[in-house]
Amino acid sequence: MTLASTWGSGQVLLSMFWFFLFFIWIWLLIVVFGDIFRSRDMGGWAKAAWTIFVIVAPYLGVFVYLIARGHKMGEHAAQQAAEQDQAFRAYVKDAAGNGSSSPAAEIDRLEDLRQRGVIDDAEFVRLKGKVVTG
């Protein structure tokens, strides 16, 4: 007997479906545990109680957590996204050279470059004109 004769296409699809449900369940557990431990509005005892509840009665614990604190999960995700966006914008601004520096600071930087011999007098005057005109 071959493997193909014992496993029909329906059984393969059913096995894939069960694997998909198992994968979703593991993902859901990770999300719930992540939210439990990242919650700043819960104390240590509340976190311990939720963790024990989810471990002892996994299906009931996860579903009760989603019902009781589902709105907070969304708030936590939005807050984390805002913090990541703010950090990204700060990094880009820092990496781009902080374009909000004052003209006086730019002229001082150009003067320093001229004194070190990096740029000559003509280039200093040209760049200073750019800084002044904006």
pLDDT digits (tens, 9 = 90+) for 55-113: 999 899 999 999 999 888 888 889 889 999 999 988 887 777 655 567 888 888 889 88
The CB density around residue 54, as the number of other CB atoms within 10 Å, is 19
Residue 95 has what pLDDT?
73
- Can you tell me which residue has the tokens 């509005």? 41
Residue 83 CA: distances (Å) to CA of 46, 77, 78, 89, 99: 25, 10, 9, 10, 22
The burial class, CB within 10 Å (0-12 / 13-18 / 19+), for 129 is: exposed
Q: For residue 36, what are its two tokens?
A: 């439990």
Tell me the pTM: 0.56
